[in-house]
Amino acid sequence: MSKSDDEAARLHRSTADACNWGSAFDVVVVGGGSAGIGVTASLLRRWPALRIAVIEPSDKHYYQPAWTLVGGGAYDAELTVRRMADVMPEHAEWIHAQASAFDPKNNLVVLADGRKIGYRQLIVCPGIRLASHTWSLVQYYLMWRILCHR
């Protein structure tokens, strides 16, 4: 057996283990942005039998990487917005809700409505949000770096 066959067999075993884990999902993905949709599609392409849930409250999916082009006038902003239902990979279960807490000891994600979703593997990609003081922090660190380089 070649090294790549060994690796494929190992991955197959770990996937099979993941698929035999009670009523929890094999994989729960928090966030249906580019990262969440991309990783879900990629996993399902490799292992179609995986039970994957994507926790995402928004009806819309924003393709942010194109926003630089929008800002430069080279791309239409409307084309960066899609219906979440249209980008959700087939066979993934869309849990249309917001994740509000994690309970890693019990492998659970707690939703804003109180429901708890069990997982075997958890992928967290809710994006980032700029805090109101982010720009002043960036300026502070830039200044600090410039001073150090002198």
Give the footprint of ligand FAD on this chain (CB under 6 A). Answer: 30-36, 55-58, 64-65, 67-68, 98-99, 125-127
In the complex with ligand FAD, the residue whose CB is nearer, 21 or 94, is 94
State the nearest-atom distance from the C-beta of 5 to ligand FAD, in Å.
33
Q: Which of 22, 19, 85, 95 is nearest to 56 (CA)?
A: 95
d(CA 140, CA 74): 33
SS3 state at 139:
helix
Q: Dump the DSSP string for 50-112.
A: --EEEE---SEEE-GGGHHHHHTTSS-GGGGEEEHHHHSPTTEEEE-S-EEEEEGGGTEEEET
In the complex with ligand FAD, the residue whose CB is nearer, 50 or 53, is 53
In the complex with ligand FAD, the residue whose CB is nearer, 15 or 33, is 33
In the complex with ligand FAD, the residue whose CB is nearer, 58 or 106, is 58
In the complex with ligand FAD, the residue whose CB is nearer, 24 or 54, is 54
Q: Which residue is nearest to ligand FAD (CB)?
A: 33
State the nearest-atom distance from the C-beta of 131 to ligand FAD, in Å.
14
DSSP state of 121: E
State the nearest-atom distance from the C-beta of 81 to ligand FAD, in Å.
11
State the nearest-atom distance from the C-beta of 52 to ligand FAD, in Å.
14
Distances (CA, A) of 97 to 31, 34, 68, 78, 110: 10, 18, 29, 24, 10
State the nearest-atom distance from the C-beta of 4 to ligand FAD, in Å.
30
